[in-house]
Structure 1
Amino acid sequence: MALPASPAAAQFDVYDDPSVLSLPTTLRATVRVPVTATSEGPADTLAALYPHLAACWRPPADLGAAAITARFSLRRDGSLQGTPRITFTRVPPRQRDALVAETLASLARCTPARLTAGLGGAVAGRPIALRFVYPGPNQGERP
């Protein structure tokens, strides 16, 4: 014998819950750096936005393979909202400070990002966790 559905469940529709139809709470991406120049126009998709945000990243001196994740938010106009936070690093301890400084400086150099109005509205205020992966100067190392 099946239990009767509650009146609230019977009235629920996927269109009544905006979280079902929206972007995830945190937008996540991994970008292998350094990135070659991105397109000239404004980013209109997340796939176009992430390389644009990583295009200014440069490896600090004597950096081997490394990975770092920055968490930040953008405003509708593509500028940084608040100060980015570093949430993960995989690098020798003696190189951590240089890697953190370069990552924060690169985000400052690459913003405000040029966004279309639609993408700007979609990402405004949402946390972005962008992971930069640097394979090392030999390109064969792994972080």
Structure 2
Amino acid sequence: MNPIFLGRIEHGKLILDSPDRFRVLLSRYEGQPVEVVVRKKKSQRSILQNRAYFGIAVKILCLHTGFNREEMHDALKQKFASRVDEKTGLTIIESTADMDTVRFCQYYEDIQRWAIEFLGVYIPDPNEPPMFEL
């Protein structure tokens, strides 16, 4: 996995949050060609979103379907976070860990709608107080 360094641009200059760590990494590549990617930081899904997903949605659906946690997570990604590549015809499944907060909210809402419509199972919003203990 490639290290990711956070920072900001001020007056056209890159200001890194961890410049010393960055210099250490650069020293490993002395004399070698490198590739540099700069992109706007996106907000990864939050810890609370992750807890709600696995602790509420996945748990309720496991109880209802008999799937284990991993099977349910994989099935939900297949249904709500996949697309077919037009060139190859292969199904590409998006990683929920790579979703930003907005995309993850949409994913959770899609699961809620499907659960109530097709399974008759209510999945509460992450911020709803629990009606019972799971």
TM bucket (normalised to shorter chain) is: under 0.3
Q: TM-score, normalised by structure 2?
A: 0.28
Q: TM-score, normalised by structure 1?
A: 0.26
Q: Which has the higher strand share?
A: 1
Q: Which has the higher helix share?
A: 2
| Higher Cα Rg, which structure | 2
